[in-house]
Amino acid sequence: MTPASRYDAIVIGGGHNGLVNAAYLARAGKKVLVLERRHLVGGAAVTEEIYPGFKYSVCSYVVSLLRPEIVRELDLARHGLEILPLESTFTPGRNGHSLVRWADHDRTREELYRHSPRDAEAYDDFGRLMYHLALAVKPLLSTIPPDPTSLRPRELRSLLKLGRHARDLGADKFHALYKLMTMSAADFLDEWFETELLKATMSASGIIGTFLGPRSPGTAYVLLHHYMGELDGTFRAWGFARGGTGGVSEAIANAARGHGAEIRTNAPVARVVVERDRATGVVLANGDEFHGRVVVSALDPRRTFLSLIDRDRLPAEFVRDIERFRMRGSSGKVNLALSHLPDFTCRPGLGPHLRGAISISPSVRYLERAYDDAKYGNFSRRPYLDMVVPSLIDPGMAPPGKHVMSIFVQYAPYDLTGGWNDAKREEFGDNVIETLAEYAPNIRDVILHRQVLTPWDLEQDFGLTEGNIFHGELTLQQLFFLRPAPPWGAYQTPVRNLYQCGSGTHPGGGITGAPGRLAALRILADLGGRGGR
């Protein structure tokens, strides 16, 4: 083996978390190699020109909760990161009804007031409660999860710190947090609001990426994530990346390269080399071999442990836990190139309501019905759609006057009755357009190109097992020290020198970069050397 192929760390997978991990390790002076299977970095955070002149944020389409400390520490603004505001949420309804939550407080209040004066006030109170809870829970996002069963001083200190946050909440807010952890999003919101358009749209944020309905217990917690984004509001942690979602990955890759990391694309890893009980390197599909003091996998836990490592190298119990880790893809994606903007019947014409998120979520019942379809193996006849028109925010995404539209579609079960195939994919795509056309009838006539991704495609093209966009559902039994499987919730694995840093680890999915960063901190602490803070 030549010295050129020896590294301090080899990162498998050039998704945003892999890149963040590599950047932090390189920043600490380590010699780092990133190996990406595809021809470009970014994983599910990529921008691709599938149709000439039109750039799609193919999978992930908004930046959620990108940790401000990462932006700061990796100097991402200098490396080209620009997060543009995604300020409003528009929910078209039937019979001329609609609801827009604007960036402006007074304007939102005015809108809500038209539907329900009580809701208009409750919305403020709810926002304040969530603000408090988010303040208490947010430190978790930047903490390596302590194992509550461990008595090691490090773990106890960390637990104590988190306990203090909970105590500072006060009794009433702690009770609300408990409810949030245990209730369904819809039930929790029922305690506050009566406006269906509002409840449905808010509850939808609790089901994204999970195979659960708005009335399934445990979905309320994810409501908090939205408000955590607001805490970083002035930092614009929540929004749309210039140049599409790939812009985030590019900026992180630039930062990593700037610190000396080497990034290879078209370099699929076939397996992790394990000698005795420790990882020593990787072998590519073409047989090339690289040696690393540590190997870090940014892939999801199933791929990492069930396809890159021989089973007999792992404890049987751990393998079973990973097999049981719930991936269950529940969503698909439709990307459109448009000659004209969609024209909504309830709010005709061009307006600021098109600049933010557009949500097809007319009622909680609608969402729950959409889930019913999926429970029994079908894609939703009338799915929940979460849409953005990136070209209105960043004109560079499409030729002048033309537009791209990103449509997140839920539910689409991975285990479709009869299985996914080309015909089913088209049927799925047609069904999305039909749904949208019920609110914006002109959509059928303005589509220049359509890209449809089913959970099957997400698995095949992007390596997301079962098409799960979060590398495993963000449900409470799969979060914190349980992610992906105890006692391996702190980035280490049963194989020495093998680490994980993907969304399948704490704090989970979305473009946060947090797993990548926290894993790097753990690795640096284990390796010793500078930068391990």
Partner 1 sequence: MLPGTPFHARTRVLCQSQNWRRWAGRIVAGSYELTHDWEYFAIRNRAAVIDVSPLFKYDVQGPDAEAFLNRVVTRNVAQCAPRQVMYTPWCDERGKVVDDGTLSHLAPNSYRLTAAEPNLRWLVDNAAGFDVEIGERTQSVAAMAVQGPRARAVLQRATDADLDSLKFYHLTLATIAGIPVTISRTGYTGDLGYEVWVEAQHAVAVWDAVMAGGTDFGITPAGMLALDVARIEAGLLLIDVDYISAQKALIERQFSSPFELGLGWAVKFDKGDFVGRDALVAEKERGPRWRFRGLELEWDDLETVYGEVGLPPQLPGRAWRTSAPVYRDGQQVGYATSGCWSPILKKYIALAHIRADHAAVGTRVGMEVTVEHQRREAGARVVLPRFFDPERKRSCP
- What does the alpha-carbon distance between residue 483 and residue 321 come to, in Å, rounded to a whole number? 10
- What is the closest distance, in whole angstroms, from the C-beta atom of residue 137 to partner 1 in the complex? 16
Taking the complex as a whole, how short is the minimal distance between the CB of residue 95 and partner 1, in angstroms? 23
Residue appearing with tokens 């390790």: 25
Given candidates 49, 69, 125, 277, which one binds partner 1 under the rule CB under 8 A? 125
Task: Give me the least distance between CB of 233 and partner 1, in Å please.
Answer: 14
Q: Which is nearer to partner 1, 31 or 107 (CB)?
A: 107
Nearer to partner 1, 108 or 210 (CB): 108
Q: Considering beta carbons, is residue 109 or 333 the nearer one to partner 1? A: 109
> Would you say 85 or 127 has its CB closer to partner 1?
127
CB 447 within 8 A of CB 341: no
Fill in the per-residue mask, 131 to 150: x = in contact with partner 1 (CB under 8 A), - = not in contact: xx------------------
CB of 110 to partner 1, least distance (A): 6
In the 8-state DSSP scheme, what is residue 352? Answer: G
The binder of partner 1 chosen from 22, 41, 65, 120 (CB under 8 A): 120
Mark 155-190 as b/e (b = at least 16 C-beta within 10 Å): beebbeebeeeeeebeeebeebbeebeebbbbbbbe
CB of 198 to partner 1, least distance (A): 15
Chain centroid to CA 531: 27
Q: Is 117 in the site for partner 1 (CB under 8 A)?
A: yes
Q: What are phi and psi of 294, to 5 degrees?
A: -130, 155
CB of 106 to partner 1, least distance (A): 4
Return the range that interacts with partner 1 (CB under 8 A); candidates 15-23, 115-123, 269-277, 359-367.
115-123
Which CA distances in Å does 360 have to 88, 329, 405, 433?
14, 20, 14, 12
Nearest distance from C-beta of residue 382 to partner 1, angstroms: 33
Taking only Cα atoms into account, the Rg of the chain, rounded to an integer number of angstroms, comes to: 23
With contacts defined by CB under 8 A, name the span among 119-127, 291-299, 335-343, 478-486 that binds partner 1. Answer: 119-127
Q: Which is nearer to partner 1, 106 or 310 (CB)?
A: 106
Q: In the complex, what is the shortest distance from the CB of residue 182 to partner 1, in angstroms, rounded to a whole number?
A: 24
Site for partner 1 in 231-290 (CB under 8 A): none
Among 49, 72, 78, 124, binds partner 1 (CB under 8 A): 124
User: Which residues, other chains included, contact 421 with Cβ-Cβ below 8 Å and sequence gap of 6+?
Assistant: none
In DSSP notation, 456-501 reads HHHHHHH--GGG-TTSS---GGGSGGGSSSTT--SSB-SSBTEEE-
How far is 95 from 395, CA to CA, in rounded Å? Answer: 32
Residue 312 near partner 1 by CB under 8 A:
no
Distance of CA 457 to the CA centre of its chain: 17
Q: Are 5 and 282 in contact (CB under 8 A)?
A: no
Q: What span, in angstroms and rounded, lies between the C-alpha atoms of 423 and 429?
A: 10
- Tokens in use for 501? 């840093």
DSSP classification of residue 98: E
Query: What does each C-alpha distance from 68 to 256, 301, 373, 429, 442 come to in angstroms?
Result: 17, 26, 39, 36, 40
Give min distance, CB of 122 to partner 1, in A: 6
The 70-109 site mask, x for binding partner 1 (CB under 8 A), equals ------------------------------------xx-x
Q: Does residue 121 bind partner 1 (CB under 8 A)?
A: yes
Q: Is 303 helix (H, G, I), strand (E, B) or coil?
A: helix
Specify the residue, 109 or 328, whose C-beta has the smaller distance to partner 1.
109
Interface segment toward partner 1; rule CB under 8 A; list 39-47, 121-129, 226-234, 335-343: 121-129
Does 110 bind partner 1 (CB under 8 A)? Our answer is: yes
Nearest CB to partner 1, comparing residues 118 and 291: 118
Instruction: Output DSSP code: residue 144.
Output: P
Q: Is position 165 an interface residue for partner 1 (rule: CB under 8 A)? A: no
Report the residue number, 202 or 398, with the smaller CB distance to partner 1: 202
Contacts of 320 (CB under 8 A, 6+ apart): none
Total residues contacting partner 1 (rule CB under 8 A)? Answer: 14
Binding site for partner 1 (CB under 8 A): 106-107, 109-110, 117-118, 120-122, 124-125, 128, 131-132
